[in-house]
Structure 1
């Protein structure tokens, strides 16, 4: 099939590359000329394991090309994916300006009836607004083409986005016509034939709600276990053992029960806030999600409290921060909890040394000279009064307690991501604050 993707950011480029991988002809459109030029040169402008190889294969075979010409992208396609940003407004509601602009592009440039697919995360009832925008634009141009609108939410995780998209837990398609459902089944047929997963066929509104409900529930699991971690710290219980035992219950599951700095990234913070706003507009006060947000803010403050407890005054200290990306295997720093930690330290006048394997270019100008960017974890830690883990990169797990004890000026470790065994650190003479455990050392 001929597939167009409007917006080739993280979601759009992964969508384009995987659509080409399963056998479709794909053209990506973006208004960002520098991004398109980078992709034409075969360079992925962000860090996502496996995506560079997929892009190269697609470019070499001719199954993927990119353009800044909307007419070129939309003139003869079966399916159009809308993968544009939906940033937060000040009141927490999603800004759908880019979605409306994408719909206008389709109505202006499509040369035949097309299935228009919401891939961006949007509020319930957005499909109706897209359909309205398509109709009004067509009427204003004297056109008679009718396009189907479909909701096909993505469930990819940054750092494993390619695998998640090629081998999904489920494929959700919301459409209000049998014809649109038939097109989407044909689109995904190569993938369904190669990978056994549920194909959830529903109406547009239900599909839109599935995405927000899924992300909000996962964020709630994270906040729940972070609340439990505070109880564990106060009583001497071990949050890891609590979470493991909870996870054996099939009704609960172990995933996303990882106490730490809380959730971040481009999805959970924005989607939780948007869902609260959507519910409010519909007359429902989603108090559970407001508490989820509050606990998440509290989790981000945890390292500062531990540093004060162990070092007393932190303004005259040097603190090593390991990791600034919101999670490992990505360079995405959007709403990364580490930013809150570093901002708080900088406000105190603390000297901060920061290391991250891939994300440092994205914070090069954020704090100026207040934060020293380090080429290695050792450079960040050596001579520091404490080390704080903010992203659980695998390479940090390889650092030994003996190395930490040797490099640190003061024997203080604040492990906000449970990177190391606290008992092993304490045995080396280190004072350890590890999320969900009593202070050791």
Structure 2
């Protein structure tokens, strides 16, 4: 009897190995970064307020990570995602990416990848910023300026400003360009980075709503929290359209799709999640501010319906892409992220024991395990049982003492990591430094 069970289990194991073989050489990559979308928003993660059928389907056919963390705000997360490094090394100020840094596009491009970025930039106003950081093609909002992003938007196409005036919806324009990129590069390896404009406020009707105003020139017109649900639905539909386009070109099994949020849902928004109300916590170092959805889809490589409970954060994306592409970074010791490729293939991999988060003030710098978090100012909290972090742990038990020692070692390894030339800028904090372009500059505007 036992022998029969062993044989049966072995057969199942062999069947899995056959069905989910090694990744193809030079797979395509699509990395989608949703703006201001917390963990509680997707149906697959227990959300009950919004319609996300396409993302739910994506998760059902692949893997979702139940303990994925980003930074509390978007610029810090974008830096970590694009460089695979914690902010302590390279954060300068809000809305800026240090031009000395190396991004995932710069590492994949020499390996033969076509690279494109579509969506929200907010990482420097230089005309050549996307190309400097390795992207062949770009269609972006908030690169050289900050006009409307929603109705009748102002966008930059490879640094050239274009204003739309016929009722176009910014996210739809960007979506069309992303689809064109897939069409144009379907015969070669490509990397599509999609930092979405949705679902960031202002919360206004989308073109699928009767209230949508195609003549609006002020993106704040008609703003109401009730339209957040519509924006989530519209964003989800865009993800579904990307997947359909991959299927039309026969690229589903050749493409790793990663979907992740950049920080928690905006404050003032309350979502029904697993039978209770969940308040958005963007900007906070609590779970509501940093716990984000993370889905990986790769038919034929990732076993369907998997839920991963290991700690992951946004620094893990870059090394995962490099690992899957067979690209070796010149200085792997500079990376803080861990490759998730083995986990995606159903193997154990090397799960993280901790994550780290840096901010110019010690009250926001911490190291965390799955449930316990130690701040640089000495506060220890159980964010598993106390997600709002309302109570510090003050008792010294064997468990808390051991946790403090482990987490303090993590904090100590980064104690001298901050480059001296950046320390002087830390007082700026997380303020948006996006300045209006000089009035006398030469216009690069092109009518759409």
TM-score when scaled to structure 1? Answer: 0.25
Q: Structure 1 or 2: larger strand share?
A: 2
Structure (1 or 2) with the larger CA radius of gyration: 1
TM-score when scaled to structure 2? Answer: 0.25
If asked which structure has higher relative contact order (CA below 8 Å, sep 6+), I would say 2
Q: Structure 1 or 2: larger helix share?
A: 1
